[in-house]
């Protein structure tokens, strides 16, 4: 493609500080369409030029160009992906359906090319490559094998066609779940508000107004709205109604049913794995993880399952006794568990969630997590003058203690129409490297959450779980921001799947560190620090409901692995209940993400066969957090070691070796059981 033909500002080099800032004000569905079309053409020209080189293959003429290939398309794809997740619209969904197969076809064409594959294999024989170059070369070879470059022409074509079809199915699954979240609300009148917190009611009133019913209150069909309602509302029939709508996403109406889509995704993944020489998709994915095999991952789930069931049965007995005292004679149902668990917690620990939330102001906690980064790593975080894509989104400049650029941080905290549910970290640009100038290009990182937005003029009070989510996602952000590697493929959070949650889950522990808590967990009106007696109660109650929380997660992880081990003959209808019955899941517990709405698994490849990774990472975290508690969460020697060995390294080092060097040994699962109160 001739350079003079490139008109899209989204595709041109970005200008400004931090290595260039995306022109967010110019992002529209039409501008994305034009940029994607031009970007694909330019990327194809770059690929053709790379293919045409007459060389046996070296690191500099084959591996390095692949790492840097199509950077213009990558920057457009980052905008396109973030807009699709956060500003979805019918027009943007149509654009996704058009371009997902095209993008998949291009990326598959790169790594299925036999000539390039042979060149990279030849480059790997160079004994002068340093350790990071060897690692990058090996990662490239793995990409080629995943695309079928080592297969026959017929098999490679089949893998390419499967990938293109999957890309369309992922978009359709995601769109259908989002439609069920956006289109369904449960209406409440003034007689049905008992027990609910003022912050939740404020948000529900605003949501009702947004839906055209300002005289009512709306329970939005998102986790941030539903879980507090199920926890606090005494109206059992309403709890059931809200529960069925939320856990029924993907099954609520014919036009948004997802199981047929999930069925096809599983069949295609199984067929692709067989083409690539693996017994199953799970074997293919886990071959490149810390776990190594599905058996190892399933083994960890089994180690925790029995203690979790035992703990939940004890929790259930307490809940049932209390429910019977209140006159409920029948067996507890899934929509009862959070409500009675909270009543038991309040009875045993006298904890008022409304009171606790007054000490977890979103703005102050955001200041707290920034302060933690400064104390641990010397980061200076200040409000940026760069443009924001939405009034709710704040932008922050980050520099190190020597005033060198770390990166730009975008923070998008509140739920809104067109934004998929959940919380995640993403990038407008990962950390890059200018090899000519030997200079780091800073990353541009986003944290996106779905906290309930308060009415105008009101402070945003978070639950303890929301506060943990805030710190969790900032742990991912720091992993991306701290990156200092010479290759894009190895930068930031591009680590093996069961290590990527280690920095995020570890960062949750800074929230409750005494130093941060005393400064930033302060009352919204009085500015009083969280009282020590309340802290003691929270610590005593830390594992209240641990059996339930662990089981609802484990059930999802078990189903994910089991579905992908079942092969092409899997029958998804009834699979969930059959497998969980075999494992002995109590009837009061339901998967945290039921199959019809399991976006981690069916909206993309990221966590497919990998949802177990949260528990794997939590095993590392529980063990590592014990060392931080012993030495101090702000111990400079330990923080520096963590930054240098983990946060800044990306995938340039082996994750297991990085942990072993940091901790001094391999992780021990007993720390996880202690942390969750399962022993």
Instruction: Clarify whether residues 232 and 371 are in a common domain.
Output: no
Mean pLDDT, the chain, rounded, equals 95
Rg over CA atoms, the chain: 25
The arithmetic mean of pLDDT across residues 601-629, rounded, is 95
Residue 651 belongs to some domain of the structure: yes
User: Is the per-residue pLDDT at 603 higher than 60?
Assistant: yes
pLDDT at 199: 86
The arithmetic mean of pLDDT across residues 124-137, rounded, is 98
The percent of residues in the chain predicted with pLDDT above 70, rounded, is 99
Domain-ending residue, one of 560, 582, 611: 611
pLDDT at 617: 94
Domain residues for the domain of 215 are 184-256
Residues 6+ apart with CB under 8 A from 401: 378, 379, 380
For residues 507 and 467, the answer to whether their CB atoms sit within 8 Å is no
pLDDT at 677: 87
Domain-ending residue, one of 256, 276, 303: 256
User: Is the per-residue pLDDT at 2 higher than 80?
Assistant: no
Instruction: Clarify whether residues 474 and 592 are in a common domain.
Output: no
Instruction: Clarify whether residues 85 and 207 are in a common domain.
Output: no
Angle, alpha carbons 507-513-516 (nearest 5°): 95
448 beta partners: 412, 424
The arithmetic mean of pLDDT across residues 374-393, rounded, is 96
- Give buried/exposed letters for 246-260 (b at 16+ CB in 10 A, else e): bbbbbbbeeebebbe
For strand 394-399 and strand 380-383, is the pairing parallel, antiparallel, or unpaired? antiparallel
Residue 95 belongs to some domain of the structure: yes
Q: What is the phi-psi region of residue 613: left when phi exceeds 0, alpha when psi lies from -120 to 50, beta otherwise?
A: alpha
Q: Which of 236, 473, 466 has the alpha carbon at shortest distance from 339?
A: 236
Q: Which of 274, 389, 532 has the alpha carbon at shortest distance from 282?
A: 274
Residue 416 belongs to some domain of the structure: yes
pLDDT tens for residues 333-375?
A: 999 999 999 999 999 998 888 889 999 999 999 999 999 999 9
The arithmetic mean of pLDDT across residues 199-208, rounded, is 91
Instruction: Clarify whether residues 620 and 590 are in a common domain.
Output: no
Instruction: Clarify whether residues 445 and 564 are in a common domain.
Output: no
Tell me, what CATH number does 536's domain have?
1.10.1370.40
Length of the chain: 679
The arithmetic mean of pLDDT across residues 283-296, rounded, is 96
Instruction: Clarify whether residues 444 and 521 are in a common domain.
Output: yes
User: Is the per-residue pLDDT at 4 higher than 70?
Assistant: no
For residues 83 and 145, the answer to whether their CB atoms sit within 8 Å is no
For strand 444-451 and strand 405-414, is the pairing parallel, antiparallel, or unpaired? parallel
Quote the number of domains for the chain. 4
The arithmetic mean of pLDDT across residues 284-307, rounded, is 96
pLDDT-derived band at 1 (thresholds 50, 70, 90) equals: low
pLDDT at 5: 64
User: Is the per-residue pLDDT at 474 higher than 80?
Assistant: yes
Instruction: Clarify whether residues 121 and 137 are in a common domain.
Output: yes
pLDDT at 567: 83
Instruction: Clarify whether residues 211 and 293 are in a common domain.
Output: no
Residue 493 main-chain phi, psi, to 5 deg: -90, 15
Owner of token pair 């004890």: 314
pTM of the model: 0.93
The strand ranges marked E within 476-549 are: none
Residue 281 belongs to some domain of the structure: no
Instruction: Clarify whether residues 148 and 197 are in a common domain.
Output: no
Q: Which of 530, 553, 589 has the alpha carbon at shortest distance from 351?
A: 530
pLDDT-derived band at 6 (thresholds 50, 70, 90) equals: low
Residue 356 belongs to some domain of the structure: no
pLDDT at 570: 87
Residue 154 belongs to some domain of the structure: yes
Give burial (CB, 10 Å; 0-12/13-18/19+) of 5.
exposed
pLDDT-derived band at 198 (thresholds 50, 70, 90) equals: confident
d(CA 551, CA 305): 7
The percent of residues in the chain predicted with pLDDT above 90, rounded, is 90
pLDDT-derived band at 232 (thresholds 50, 70, 90) equals: very high
d(CA 659, CA 624): 9
Instruction: Clarify whether residues 515 and 552 are in a common domain.
Output: no
Domain-ending residue, one of 577, 611, 645: 611
pLDDT tens for residues 534-572?
A: 999 999 898 999 999 999 999 999 999 999 999 888 889
d(CA 507, CA 556): 23
User: Is the per-residue pLDDT at 455 higher than 90?
Assistant: no
Instruction: Clarify whether residues 641 and 507 are in a common domain.
Output: yes
Residue 196 belongs to some domain of the structure: yes
Instruction: Clarify whether residues 489 and 618 are in a common domain.
Output: yes
Residue 365 three-state SS? helix
Q: What is the phi-psi region of residue 469: left when phi exceeds 0, alpha when psi lies from -120 to 50, beta otherwise?
A: alpha
Residue 559 belongs to some domain of the structure: yes
């Amino acid at each position: 493609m001739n350079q003079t033909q490139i008109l899209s500002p989204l595709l041109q080099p970005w200008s400004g500080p931090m290595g260039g800032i995306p022109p967010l004000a110019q992002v529209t569905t039409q501008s994305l369409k034009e940029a994607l079309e031009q970007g694909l053409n330019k990327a194809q020209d770059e690929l053709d030029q790379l293919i045409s080189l007459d060389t046996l293959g070296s690191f500099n003429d084959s591996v390095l160009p692949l790492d840097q290939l199509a950077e213009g398309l990558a920057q457009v794809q980052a905008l396109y992906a973030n807009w699709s997740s956060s500003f979805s619209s019918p027009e943007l969904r149509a654009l996704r359906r058009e371009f997902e197969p095209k993008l998949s076809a291009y990326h598959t064409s790169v790594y299925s090319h036999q000539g390039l594959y042979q060149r990279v294999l030849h480059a790997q024989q160079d004994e002068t490559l340093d350790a990071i170059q060897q690692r990058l070369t090996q990662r490239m070879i793995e990409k080629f094998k995943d695309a079928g470059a080592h297969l026959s022409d017929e098999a490679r074509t089949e893998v390419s066609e499967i990938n293109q079809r999957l890309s369309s199915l992922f978009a359709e699954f995601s769109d259908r779940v989002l439609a069920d979240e956006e289109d369904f609300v449960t209406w409440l009148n003034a007689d049905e508000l008992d027990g609910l917190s003022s912050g939740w009611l404020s948000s529900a009133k605003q949501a009702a107004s947004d839906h055209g019913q300002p005289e009512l209150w709306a329970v939005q069909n998102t986790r941030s709205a539903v879980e507090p309602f199920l926890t606090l509302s005494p109206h059992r029939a309403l709890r059931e109604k809200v529960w069925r709508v939320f856990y029924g996403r993907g099954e609520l109406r014919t036009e948004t049913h997802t199981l047929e889509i999930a069925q096809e995704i599983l069949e295609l993944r199984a067929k692709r794995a067989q083409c690539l020489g693996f017994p199953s998709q799970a074997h293919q994915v886990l071959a490149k993880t810390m776990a190594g095999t599905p058996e190892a991952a399933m083994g960890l789930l089994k180690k925790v399952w029995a203690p979790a069931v035992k703990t939940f049965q004890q929790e259930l007995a307490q809940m049932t006794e209390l429910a019977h005292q209140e006159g409920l004679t029948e067996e507890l149902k899934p929509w009862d568990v959070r409500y009675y668990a909270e009543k038991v917690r309040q009875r045993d620990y006298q904890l008022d969630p409304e009171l606790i939330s007054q000490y977890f102001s979103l703005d102050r906690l955001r200041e707290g997590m920034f302060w933690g980064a400064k104390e641990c790593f010397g980061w200076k975080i200040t409000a940026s003058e760069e443009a924001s894509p939405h009034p709710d989104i704040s932008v922050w400049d980050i520099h190190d203690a020597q005033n060198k650029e770390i990166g730009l941080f975008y923070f998008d905290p509140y739920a809104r129409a067109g934004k998929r549910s959940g919380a995640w970290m993403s990038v407008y640009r990962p950390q890059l490297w200018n090899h000519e100038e030997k200079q780091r290009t800073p990353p541009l990182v986003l944290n996106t959450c779905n906290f309930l937005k308060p009415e105008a003029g009101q402070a945003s009070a978070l639950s303890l779980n929301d506060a943990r989510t805030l710190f969790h996602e900032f742990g991912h952000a720091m992993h991306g921001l701290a990156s200092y590697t010479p290759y894009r493929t190895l930068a930031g959070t591009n680590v093996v799947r069961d290590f990527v949650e280690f920095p995020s889950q570890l960062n949750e522990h800074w929230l409750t560190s005494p130093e941060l808590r005393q400064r930033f967990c302060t009352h919204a009106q009085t500015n009083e620090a969280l009282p020590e007696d309340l802290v003691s109660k929270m610590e005593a109650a830390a594992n209240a409901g641990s059996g339930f929380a662990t089981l609802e997660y484990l059930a999802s992880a078990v189903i994910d692995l089991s579905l992908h081990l079942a092969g092409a003959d899997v029958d998804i209808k009834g699979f969930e209940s059959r497998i969980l019955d075999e494992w002995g899941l109590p009837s009061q517990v339901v998967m945290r993400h039921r199959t019809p709405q399991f976006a981690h698994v069916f909206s993309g490849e990221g966590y497919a066969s990998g949802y177990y990774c949260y528990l794997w990472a939590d095993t590392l975290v529980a063990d590592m957090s014990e060392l931080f508690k012993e030495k101090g969460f702000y111990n400079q020697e330990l923080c520096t070691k963590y930054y240098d060995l983990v946060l800044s390294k990306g995938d340039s080092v082996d994750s297991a070796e990085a942990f072993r060097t940091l901790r001094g040994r391999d992780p021990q699962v007993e720390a996880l059981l202690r942390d969750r109160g399962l022993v």
